[in-house]
A and B are shown apart, each in its own frame.
Chain A
Amino acid sequence: MEVAVIKYNAGNVQSVLYAMERLGANATLTDDWETIQKADKVIFPGQGEASTAMQYLKERKLDQLIKSLEQPFFGICLGLQLLCEFSEEYDTQCLGIFPIQVKKFPPLDKVPHIGWNNLQNLQSPLLAGLDESAYVYYVHSYYATVDPAFTIATSHYIEDFSALLQRDNYYAIQAHPEKSSLAGEKILTNFLNL
């Protein structure tokens, strides 16, 4: 199993690579078109800020590449937000795989949303073996709104938001599965088995 982890200016990719290693997958951090196109699975990790990330992707035409891929593709954290249409974070036009808006949490509670929260309304083979008692680890200030056409699980913090999204071969998760103990490993394993 060859997994390409897309290399761009996002933080904390090492943990994703280590998680892949623990699950026995051969993961390579790369921004090479050919390596990414040939991979069995592609992971789009991320931590950081949307506008500088989008700018970086555009400069290297990785935005075009991402939109053209056909193998199972998994956006993580900022990766999920960048796959949406538009982010309120510096009013950034994103990749538009999901026609969904990314909004900032209103200041009705502590922001960022940091810690373990459970998944609700799970409905995807990606979440096989998990139920609403599954907790995943979140660190984020922006969230993707819920769209029943693409939302395959929700979580609740201040608002209901899209915990996971899917459209065709594109999957995405707002939490950090690589840091989410057994539940996270289950999700990553399910992705590798798609």
Chain B
Amino acid sequence: MLTKRIIPCLDIKEGRTVKGVNFVELRDAGDPVELGKIYADEGADELVFLDITATVEKRKTLVALVTKVAKTVNIPFTVGGGISTVDDIKALLNAGADKISINSAAVKKPGIVDEMAREFGSQCIVVAIDTKSLDGVDFVHTHGGRKPTLIQTQKWAKEVAERGAGEILLTSMDHDGVKNGFANEITGEISSMLSIPVIASGGAGNMQHFKDVFNAGKADAALAASIFHFKEIPIPELKKYLQAEGISIRL
């Protein structure tokens, strides 16, 4: 039976993890490769590396990092953050990334989704959508959720799926960092509407939130960062809990 996926997300700046992590096993708390391997060994189903390096020059460290991760980690991983050209994508896929996530670049030039899907196949194209509700209507936001657009989130999700996205990574800016649970309503709405998987992100605070996003939110996968980094919820415990709650999970 196909299982629901648990995905830790690692923020990377100039080749190092940024959000503080609290792992006693880590010799070097800033080493994304070592942290990724620990998560993989603990039972994470996939990893996401989100590059938040500000300058283009320093972004070149990303390809070297992806190579190291691919050599070390034996589960699939996605790389995202500021990726905007087919050349960027080619370099990252050739280095061993399984999937590439694009966000602002797709909003700016939607045709890039078609172009990428044609060139590399839908299976490696994740479109990340940051959404925020304004007066009860959900709008796409770009630039790490700072810039609002006039594009309605549900419409955009449908459009990128039609253009060839293989998966959608939906982050609710209303829920992100608040730890009050995922945005189950909009996640469920989009997941039911589309024939591609939806990864829910933003809002995980306890184990029940994961159960809710898989049941009420109909998410195919759930992504979180700090609760894993700070060991508030160890992945093995979370997966055992979800299985006991009747969710299909890989143990």
- Contact surface of A with B, Cβ cutoff 8 Å: 11-12, 14-15, 18-19, 21-22, 47-49, 107, 110-118, 133, 135, 137-139, 156-157, 176, 178-182, 184-185
Contacts and interface: CB of A to CB of B under 8 A. Distances in A.
Interface residues of B, number: 32
Interface in B24-73: 40, 45, 70-71
B120 A11 contact: yes
B98 A15 contact: yes
Interface in B202-239: 220-221
A110 B123 contact: no
A114 B74 contact: no
B74 A115 contact: no
Interface of B: 1-5, 40, 45, 70-71, 74-76, 93-96, 98, 120-124, 166-167, 194-197, 220-221, 250-251
A49 B118 CA distance: 11
A135 B3 CA distance: 9
Contact of A15 (B70, B167, B220): B70
A114 B75 contact: no
B75 A181 contact: yes
A116 B194 CA distance: 20
A169 to B, nearest CB: 26
B218 to A, nearest CB: 10
Contacts of A12: 93, 96, 98, 124
Nearest to B71: A18
